[in-house]
A and B are shown apart, each in its own frame.
Chain A
Amino acid sequence: MYLTLEHITKKFPGRGQEGLVTAVDDVSLAIGKGEFFTLLGPSGCGKTTMLRLIAGFEFPTSGRIALDERQLEQVPPNKRDMAMVFQSYAIFPHLTVFENIAYGLRIKKLSQDEVRRRVAQIMTQTKLTGLENRMPNQMSGGQQQRVSLARALVVEPKVLLFDEPLSNLDAKLREEMRFEIRDLQRRLNITSIYVTHDQEEALALSDRIAIMNKGKLAQLGTPEEIYELPRSKFVADFIGLANFLPAQAQSVQDGWASVQVGAHALRVTALPHDAAQQSALIFIRPGDIKIADENAVENILTGQIVKATYLGEKIDYRVQVDETELRVQTSDAKRRAVGEIVRLYLPPERARLIGEA
C-alpha cells in the first residue's frame, strides 16, 4: 500500500482537570496509490486530527505512518510532499492569485519560466484563467476554493489532503465543486484523503470511506458497502435515514433470522455472526418500507400514521408501531391521512439484524 498508518493513537492534554483526551484511538489504515479516500464522521470524531497527523501538523502519541516506504513520524510537514486544501481556504490575503498558486513552486526554487508555465496550466484546469492579478478579497467563495485547490495541486504532491473544503460553500456550488474535484483527482491520479462530515459528499466522491466515531474506526469500505451493509447502529444511523426496531431474535439460520416484534413475527436478513438473543435490533431504511394492501400477510407490521409530510417527489410518514415510531418514505401517489391505520411491508432482504454498538 502507498500510505499506511499503523495503530495510530493521539492524546491531547485536556482542559483543567480532564487529564488526557484521546482524539484518535488505535486506528490503522492502508491507502492505495491514486485512491480517493474519505474520513467521515460527526464533529469531534477524530477525523480532522487524523488528517493533521498525516499532514504532520500533529505528531502521533504512538503508532507509525509511512508514505511510499518512507517513515514519516520524524518528518516535519514541510518535508512530507503533501499539500492540504483547508476548510477556510487559507489563501494568503496579501498575495495575488498568481503568487498564491506559485507559492509552493517558488519554495522549490523553480525557474521563473517553469513557474509561469505550471501556474498557467493549473489555472486552466481549475478554470481560473484571467484572474492572475486579482487579490483574494476580490473573489467569490467558489473562486477562492479553486485557488486553494490549484495552489495545492500545482506542487504535484504525493498526497493531497482535503479538510472539509466545501463546507463553506452554498449547496449548489458545493455539488458543482464536488464533481470538479473528483474529475481533477481522476485525471491527475493524485492520492487524496478527504475529511468531511457530509455523508452525501463522501458517497459521491470516494473510492473508499472510513467512518470514525469517538476516535475509533467504525467501518471501512466502499460507498456501496457502507450504505448497504452498515455494520453497526452508529454507521447505519450516520449514513442516510434509518429505522431501528427493537425485536427478539427467535432463531438464526442460513442468513435469515426469525424475529418477534410485539405481536408480529418477521423474517429478516442476518449476518453470519448474528445469534438468537432476547433483545435485538432490526434496521431498515425508510424508503425500503412499503405500505401494503389488505391481503398481504407476510412480514407485515400494523401501525397508525401520526404525521405526514409532503416532500415533493415523495411523502414522509411517521407511523406508530407499538412503542416505536417508524419513518416511511414512499413515492406512492395515494395520500393517506393522519390517524389512518396502515399495514407496513418490510422486505426480508432489506431489513436486517444489526448490532447495538
Chain B
Amino acid sequence: MGISVVSILLLLALLAPIISPYNPTEIHAVHVLSPPNWSHWCGTDELGRDVLSRMLYGARISLMVGFVAIGIAVTIGSLVGLASGYYGGWVDTLLMRFVDVMLCFPTFFLILAVIAFLSPSIWIIMAVIGLTGWMGVARLVRAEVLVIREMDYILAARCIGCSDLRIILRHILPNALSPVLVAATLGVAGAILTESALSFLGIGVQPPTPSWGNILTSGKDYIEFAWWLSLFPGLAILVTVLAYNLLGEGIRDALDPRTMK
C-alpha cells in the first residue's frame, strides 16, 4: 500500500510539467479565489493561480527536500556511526557525546534559529533539516557496527590483510544498512512535515515557488472565504507522510524475520 502511493506520488511529481493543467505561477485576476469547479479542480488562490497545478509542482519541492535532506542526514549519520562503532575508545566517546549534545536542542527551534541567521532558500532548508537530523542514524549504525565488528567474517577479513577502510566500507557498511533504510524512509516523511511547517510559517520555500506549506499559508489568511486552499494541500501532506511511514514499516517487517507472518 505504502509503495504504490509513494510511486504514484513520485510519478505525479516527475510528470508535473506535463500533466499540470495550468502554469503554477501564472496570475489570473479574473479567477481570484474561485471554488473548485470543472476547469480548476482544486479551485484557485488569492492571485487566481490554479491550486492543483501548484500542488503538483509543490510535490516536486516537497519530495526533493525530503530526499536531499535525508540523504545528507544518512550520510553524516552513517559516517559518524561507522567511525564511532568501529574505532571505539576516545573516538566513540567524543562522537557520542556530540550526538548527545545535538539531541538536547529542540530540533525545530534549532532549525528556526539557523534559518534566522541565514536567509531562507530551498537549499538552506534541505541542508539544515539534514544537519539537524542525523543523530538517530548515527546511533543506529553504531549499534549495528558494534555487533558486526565481532563477527568472524570481519576477523577473516582482517587476517587476509584488508585495510580498516576496506573492512568498514566493504564488509561492515553493507551489513549495517538495513535499519538505516527503514530510518531513512521514515525520515523522508519527517523531513516533508518539517519543510511544510517551515514553509507554512513563511521561513521555508519562498513564494512564488509553490510548496504545500506555503499554499496552506494562504489557506490560513483566507480561511473565512476559501476552504479549498486549506483542505487540498493538507490532504496531500497527510497522504504523502502516511505513505512513507507505511513504506518504512513495510520495509522493517520485510527485513525483520521475527515479524514474518
The judgment on whether A and B are partners is no
